Amino acid sequence: MSLKPQDVYVVLKIVADGSRRAPYAQLAVELVMSPSEVHACVKRAQASHLLHDASSLDLPNIAALNEFLVHGLKYVFPAERGELTRGVATSYGAEPLCSSIAPGSEPIPVWPYEEGQQRGIAFAPLYKTAPIAALRDQSFYEYLVLVDALRDGRIRERKLAEAELHRRLSEVHA
């Protein structure tokens, strides 16, 4: 069973929500996915050891998740960039990273989204509905931003994202 980018997307939502995993139907609504897609994502994440099994309430395997995000994600799901577009800021262009990184002259990375408020270089999200779901949940949005910095950031951005992600994950289910 191969891991898909949407599996990481679902796991990050579960992490952002904390405590117990929400029912598939609720996650589906919040992530703008079908319940069957969410179920399949959870099963693949369990098989990949990013989530514990159902007897452990599908809680994230924090150590494995941290290791995968920091050391493997950029190789398995590399960032895809495109043209200048309107969208939702990500990576170093959004919090929690943009306040630590001085803006340069280059356009920021954005997930393409017609209703987005920023202009920048298109950056393909882990899943197509990320802009919608992220704008509904600030904590989830910030996890996606950190992961995007790990996928495609320069060394300084990756180090900041890694440190912040490690801090956040160490607080999950503590």
Is residue 90 classed exposed, middle or buried when 0-12, 13-18 and 19+ CB atoms within 10 A define those classes?
Answer: buried
Pair 142, 110: CB distance under 8 Å: no
Q: According to the model, what pLDDT value does residue 160 have?
A: 96
Residue 56: the pLDDT is 67
Residues 155, 145 contacting (CB under 8 angstroms): no
Determine the pLDDT at residue 45.
95
Residue 102: the pLDDT is: 76
Quick one: pLDDT at residue 173? 57
Q: For the chain, list residues with pLDDT below 70.
A: 19, 55-57, 173-174
The token pair that represents 3 in the structure block: 């891991």
Q: What is the pLDDT of residue 59?
A: 86
**Structure tokens, 96:** 């929690």
pLDDT at 11: 96
pTM of the predicted protein model = 0.94
Domain boundaries, the chain: 5-75, 78-171
